[in-house]
Amino acid sequence: MKSFSISTESSVAFASRVNTALNGRTLGSFVSVEGRPDAFFVRFDRLGKSEVEYAVTPVGDGFRAELKKESIAFAHRPFRTEIEGKLRKLVEKLGGKAS
């Protein structure tokens, strides 16, 4: 996922909702997110550690997050497309637009 946007809340509030939605799901056992006013992080912690960082730009009452950098563990590379797809669906389910 190269970018996503949320029109109704800050990156900090959105990260909290994503983490709540991940609780109890298989994905939640190894994926976490962190929202800051200027950045949004997606972290994977199983069979290695990966991190995807997005630069956050405020837009109205929400924000736009654009891929800034990523560090993907070798063991995670085969599952990247699947995990990105699940995260995209979650962002969209929570009211975001992903691209």
pLDDT string in tens for the chain (99-residue length): 999 999 999 999 999 999 999 998 888 888 999 999 999 999 999 889 999 999 999 999 999 999 999 999 999 999 889 989 988 999 999 999 999
Q: What per-residue confidence (pLDDT) applies to 8?
A: 96
Number of structural domains found in the chain: 1
Can you list the positions of beta strands (E) in 1-99? 3-6, 31-35, 39-45, 49-59, 62-71, 97-98
| pTM (predicted TM-score) | 0.93
- 90 lies in which domain range? 3-98
CATH of the domain at 28: 3.30.310
